[in-house]
Amino acid sequence: MRRNTPKAPRAAGIGTRRGFTLVELLVVIAIMGTLVGLLLPAVQSARESARGVQCRNNVRQIALATLSFQQSTRVFPPARILPTPGTPPVPAGSHPTSTWLIRIAPHLEQTTLEWDESRTFADQAETARTRVVANYLCPTRRGPELAITPASTTPTTRAPCGCLLPGREISGGAVTDYVGNHGDLSPTADGSATDFYWGGNGTGVIITSDPLPGTARWRDRVRPADVTDGLSRTILLGEAHVPRGRLARPPENGPAFDASDFFNSTRVGGPGVPIAAGPDDSVAGMGVFAFGSWHPGGCPMAFADGRVEALAPETDTEILAGMCNRHDGRTD
């Protein structure tokens, strides 16, 4: 006769499945959140570092294109060609009205711009005015979708230095984050014909020139020999200050190919115009004239020998003026 032997009780928890409790789930979520919080700054820093490298590479490529232009023409490109007040009148359409960024574009790899030098900026084909050049954009600030300013009207204002900024009807066009060195404010900056932004007055390397009537040439030609302070000590170009919220908005970020205003494609530096300390710096009302960057490592600048260096916003303005002025004798 078979006897029924009772089964031993199963140990608690053996062979059973048990899920997370709510407390355990919350602990896991908290740990993951902490890890993400620790990793996110590192990821953002790595991305910004990569963007900074790309920005400096853009500066280098533009500098090489500018030096290629100089080697082929024996002079640096003019910032723009514009008659100085008081000079003999020049017939409309008899001189180029584009900026230096149009002139160097063919020297940038795979860059072609359909530009008619006999027409004013407003009369150019829209496709030419709004052609975005990737090398002209800082990746920290924007992509091509934020690189075209619409048509607008700017009010007449007077800068703290005394320069008059006349109100203008502005046609839409592509913008730039990189600008040439027009020099410092030492000629004058009081609204007269001797101001730094008129033909031949600029102390930089890429300056405004008076036209030679009836030709496509310009009068005020800067050669390497004219940079008497030394090519390695004189700024050629750098990143432009554009305040936060003013991307592709005139006057702070107007059309790069429009020669109407010098600050669309060039800037100055020195006493009264320091390097901007980031996108929220007003530069005491002189921001539209200034160099500046959104990168924490300083403002990338290319010197006239092609060398690229980031200059800190704290750079002494007298030293900055010496680097912006091609022939003032300050070489330290």
Per-residue pLDDT of the chain (332 residues; tens, 9 = 90+): 455 555 555 555 555 556 668 777 788 888 887 877 776 665 556 677 789 999 999 999 999 999 999 999 999 999 999 888 877 666 655 555 789 999 999 999 767 788 988 888 999 999 999 999 999 999 999 999 999 999 999 999 999 998 888 898 999 999 999 999 999 999 999 988 899 999 999 999 999 999 887 777 899 999 999 999 999 999 999 999 999 999 999 999 999 999 999 999 999 999 999 999 999 999 999 999 999 999 998 999 999 999 999 999 999 999 999 999 999 987 66
29 within a domain of the structure (yes/no): no
Q: Give the C-alpha separation, 228 to 156, whole Å.
A: 37
233 within a domain of the structure (yes/no): yes
pLDDT at 11: 52
Residue 172 Cα to chain centre, angstroms: 18
190 within a domain of the structure (yes/no): yes
What backbone phi and psi angles, to 5 degrees, belong to 281?
Answer: -85, 125
pLDDT at 86: 78
pLDDT at 235: 98
> DSSP assignment, residue 124?
S
Q: Give the C-alpha separation, 150 to 172, whole Å.
A: 4
Per the structure, the complete domain to which residue 273 belongs is given by 39-324
331 within a domain of the structure (yes/no): no
pLDDT at 31: 81
What backbone phi and psi angles, to 5 degrees, belong to 178?
Answer: -125, 135
pLDDT at 33: 79
| Helices (runs of H) and strands (runs of E) counted in the chain | 4, 13
Q: Give the C-alpha separation, 154 to 157, whole Å.
A: 9
124 within a domain of the structure (yes/no): yes
Number of domain units in the chain: 1
Instruction: Return the half-sphere exposure (C-beta side, CA atoms, 13 A cut-off) of residue 244.
Output: 8
DSSP string, 108-171: STT------TTS-TTTS-HHHHT---GGGS-TTT--GGG-EEPPEEEPPEE-TTS-EE--EEE-
